[in-house]
Structure 1
């Protein structure tokens, strides 16, 4: 039997409530405190987990999100990446591959990963590549789990577009 490339293994399923969190974050090299509830007050959000800053797949994914930020902004969506990296690393990552276009948050105690069932099974302390698309009411609209960083960006945009279409009916 072949596994589907985006078979969701996350405990948090579509329709579930997204856990609120705040964490040290960086945007364009500047540290601040990211708060999901505040982000959702402005519109939907994409919370994407990635294993480690400056690795090949994570760099590609950050660059793809950065290149697509005009589309995310048009959909009034906040994007935040979450990893177990320290804030000093994330300050550099937010300026480099993220292009200063979206925040990356430090999950120092791995509590966000635990709440979202995003911990890597093989390497503890690191996040798996999982993306959550979350509505302003904190309902999870979609979950994507898989290796391809490019697909997380495309599928997150598709989920947001579908949600906006539904809202505008």
Structure 2
């Protein structure tokens, strides 16, 4: 948690404005995707279709690894990972970070802690499929480790996807003013309410 003070300062720079075109909403089909992802520092190919065969999936989009709200959000999901599993659901985080950055983030004991995978959406194609707004990093922006951020940000949005592939809930920080740390607890509550 040593980076949280600096993280709080960076977090304000990553707040994305409300969007005119809303993200995909409950009842719509979740776009299937495959992406290079990392779990506990090891890269693999993540498939939403494959994950849904095991039960509901929480897909949460976040602006960037090693930045304010994203750090606390990842930690919150890591702390609740066992509760999601007990409810029959899995978690995947999605950002436009490179897989090399995500290998570090996924294994970092302060954040993802090897509890769930994070997928690389380099270029933002997955974000676009979910109708999420993206924005460019400001020149010279650095993460909480002091490293330059060289990718776009995706608005912070969490989708709870039922096992049949439909979106059960959409949680948006931009529209609903949900704090990053609260995405995990709100998604868990929704998952627990799904019919198995």
- Whether contact under 8 Å (2:57, 2:163) holds in the other structure is yes
1:61-100 equivalences under 5 Å are: 61-96=73-108, 97-100=111-114
Report the secondary structure of 1:42's partner residue.
Answer: coil
Aligned CA-pair RMSD: 2.0
Residues 1:151 and 2:165 are matched in the alignment: no
TM-superposed CA distance for 1:126, in Å, is: 1.2
Instruction: Return the TM-score normalized by structure 2.
Output: 0.77
Q: Which runs of 4+ in 1 moved over 6 A?
A: none
Instruction: Return the TM-score normalized by structure 1.
Output: 0.89
Query: In the alignment, what sits opposite 1:163?
Result: 194
Structure-1 separation of matches of 2:132 and 2:103: 22
- Provide, for residues 58-106 of structure 1, a one-character-per-residue CA deviation record: whole Å limited to 9, x for no partner: 0100000000011000011110000000000000000011000000000
Equivalent pairs counted in the alignment come to: 160
| From 12, 24, 28, the counterpart of 1:12 | 24
Report the secondary structure of 1:60's partner residue.
Answer: helix
Structure-1 separation of matches of 2:88 and 2:38: 20
Structure-2 separation of matches of 1:70 and 1:117: 30
Structure-2 separation of matches of 1:118 and 1:72: 24
Query: In the alignment, what sits opposite 1:130?
Result: 157
TM-superposed CA distance for 1:120, in Å, is: 2.9
Query: In the alignment, what sits opposite 2:33?
Result: 21
Structure-1 separation of matches of 2:105 and 2:44: 14
Residues 1:54 and 2:74 are matched in the alignment: no
